[in-house]
Amino acid sequence: MASQQKQANMLWGGRFTGGLDPLMVAYNESIYFDQVLHKQDILGSIAFARANFNAGILTKDEFDKIETGLQAVEAEWVAGTFKIVPGVDEDIHTANERRLGELIGKDVAGKLHTGRSRNEQVATDMRMWLRDELRAIEAHLVSFLKVTAQRAATEVDLLMPGYTHLQRAQPIRWSHWMMSYGLAFASDLERLREVIKRVNRSPLGCGALAGNPFGIDRAAMAQELGFDSLLWNSMGGVADRDFVAETLQWGAMLMQHISRWAEDLIVYSTAEFGFVRLADAYSTGSSLMPQKKNPDSLELLRGKSGRAFGHMAGFMMTLKGLPSTYNKDLQESVEPMLDHIKTVADSIQIAEGVLATLATQPLKMRAALDPFMLATDLADYLVRKGVPFRETHHISGECVALSEKTGTPMNELTFEQLQSVDARFDKDISEVFNYDKSVEMRSAKGGTSKASVLEQIAVLQAMLE
């Protein structure tokens, strides 16, 4: 009997005469995670009540009572005094309407839901919450990129090895490495701004699936709630969770970039490389080995990328087989969205903290440069004398082989030894073995010369506006 009484208090309870399995009640509930949407649910309900008043469904007195009552409910959430009734408050929408009825009476509170479905209500709440959270993430990402640009400009003269296949390849600027990720994160920023536009579309007024029968002004509600536009099909409006899927896809892409960025810094912070040293605030020690300083912040960033990928893949599998309009499976969109947003927001802020406090080791970076990394410069030297690159590549390879065979660093091979490989080498060949000159030669847009890197920084800063 108690179960049946609770069921009667639910928004959908009138149709049912049998009690629910208690496990099914708990299985169905979302209040313990979707309560985070309380503010959005209250604002959406006020906007909907105002639209019903303007459409003649509510009197002025009824609207005023509903608005005042809803504001009182929100005040309880803010103060932490709202009491959830287990088994009755199955979600944030039910909880707010139940409490509204207690405050202003069920006769008036019962009119709030006229013409409205939870299908549109939950979609509206989620879109409003996600829009605001993504704007906060946008601010975090802009801040991280500003640190990246500032640090790249300050440390533009630091040289280090550039790697392919984790093998030393060519000399580059440390700032060039930073900008390789900075511009990837800037592309993430551009994508995020596009995602926010698609999130910020209003489904309110779509009803359960067929639309609203009372002629309410959807555009006015959208404007009140800060939406940019409407979802134009009521069936699609209540079923659409592409905005969640796209957010998860975006976040997975960002976290992939963060993971690779973190992996590089983990490698660079090892004793074998020693290019950077993490601040104590972003490191931990070993419970056994006192000398250890572990890059836990970076390892957690790398690890949490897998968590973010899981959110995306799991939810895409939930969506793929659903028939049109609303299905209860869509409740599974909320928890991954909430956890994904927290994971991504926290990760960006941790990444910024790591970069802002990182100590570079310029001498270690330069000491890791190897004359073999100038082999391409040796080939380019002959190209400038008119020799085809395919031939110069082979000649440079012979110089590398000679260096290895004689145990002589390539920059210490004598002029006579180099001429024995190819007579077109002149005395000025010695000028090739200069790391600073090598990076400055890469002066085309996007290269590692100082001017090119500074230009990249300017491009990035323009993207932040």
For residue range 397-429, what is the model confidence (pLDDT) as tens digits? Answer: 999 999 999 999 999 999 999 999 999 999 999
Residue with tokens 């290019």: 275
How many CA atoms lie within 13 Å of 284's alpha carbon, on the beta-carbon side? 8
β-sheet bridge partners, residue 214: none
Report phi then psi at 230, rounded to 5: -105, 155
Distance between CA atoms of residues 226 and 220, nearest Å: 10
Residue 286 pLDDT grade (very low, low, confident, very high; cuts 50, 70, 90):
low
Residue with tokens 């996600």: 130
**pLDDT at residue 15, as a whole number:** 55
Q: What is the mean pLDDT of residues 334-345?
A: 97
Q: How far is CA 385 from CA 57, 157, 377, 393, in A?
A: 87, 30, 13, 14
For 81-126, the pLDDT digits (tens) are 999 999 899 999 999 999 999 999 999 999 999 999 999 999 999 9
| Catalytic member of 30, 113, 117, 165 | 165
Residue 18 pLDDT grade (very low, low, confident, very high; cuts 50, 70, 90):
low
Q: Which residues contact 216 (CB under 8 A, 6 or more apart)?
A: 48, 51, 52, 54, 55, 57, 115, 205
The SS3 call for residue 66 is helix
Distance between CA atoms of residues 329 and 417, nearest Å: 74
Q: Could you say which DSSP state residue 284 is in?
A: B
For the chain, the C-alpha Rg in angstroms (whole number) is 31
Distance between CA atoms of residues 2 and 96, nearest Å: 21
Report phi then psi at 354, rounded to 5: -60, -50
How many CA atoms lie within 13 Å of 411's alpha carbon, on the beta-carbon side? 12
Model confidence at 59: pLDDT above 50:
yes
Share in percent of the chain as helix, strand, coil (round to 5): 65, 5, 30
Model confidence at 6: pLDDT above 60:
no
β-sheet bridge partners, residue 276: 360
Residue with tokens 């991280």: 144
**pLDDT at residue 441, as a whole number:** 96
Q: Which residues contact 115 (CB under 8 A, 6 or more apart)?
A: 52, 57, 207, 212, 213, 214, 216
Q: Are 19 and 77 in contact (CB under 8 A)?
A: no
Residue 465 pLDDT grade (very low, low, confident, very high; cuts 50, 70, 90):
confident
Q: In the structure encoding, which two tokens stand for residue 55, read together?
A: 């459409």
| Catalytic member of 286, 324, 394, 443 | 286
β-sheet bridge partners, residue 163: 168
Q: Which residues contact 260 (CB under 8 A, 6 or more apart)?
A: 181
Distance between CA atoms of residues 342 and 340, nearest Å: 5
> Is 2-114 a domain of CATH 1.10.10.10?
no
Q: Which residues contact 221 (CB under 8 A, 6 or more apart)?
A: 47, 48, 50, 51, 202, 204, 205
Distance between CA atoms of residues 279 and 268, nearest Å: 14
286 is catalytic: yes
Number of continuous H segments (helices) and E segments (strands) in the chain: 20, 6
For 198-247, the pLDDT digits (tens) are 999 999 999 999 999 999 999 999 999 999 999 999 999 999 999 999 99
Domains of the chain, by residue range, sit at: 2-114, 119-162+173-367, 371-452
User: Beta-carbon neighbour count of residue 98 at 10 Å?
Assistant: 20
**pLDDT at residue 21, as a whole number:** 84
pTM of this structure: 0.92
Residue type (1 letter), 280: D
Query: Could you tell me if residue 163 is left (phi over 0), alpha (psi between -120 and 50 degrees) or otherwise beta?
Result: beta
Measured in Å, how far apart are the chain's first and last C-alpha atoms?
61
For 86-98, the pLDDT digits (tens) are 989 999 999 999 9
Distance between CA atoms of residues 67 and 311, nearest Å: 37
Q: Are 133 and 341 in contact (CB under 8 A)?
A: yes
CATH class of 371-452: mainly alpha
- CATH fold, domain 119-162+173-367, is Fumarase C; Chain A, domain 2 (1.20.200)
Distance between CA atoms of residues 165 and 354, nearest Å: 25
Q: Are 53 and 66 in contact (CB under 8 A)?
A: no
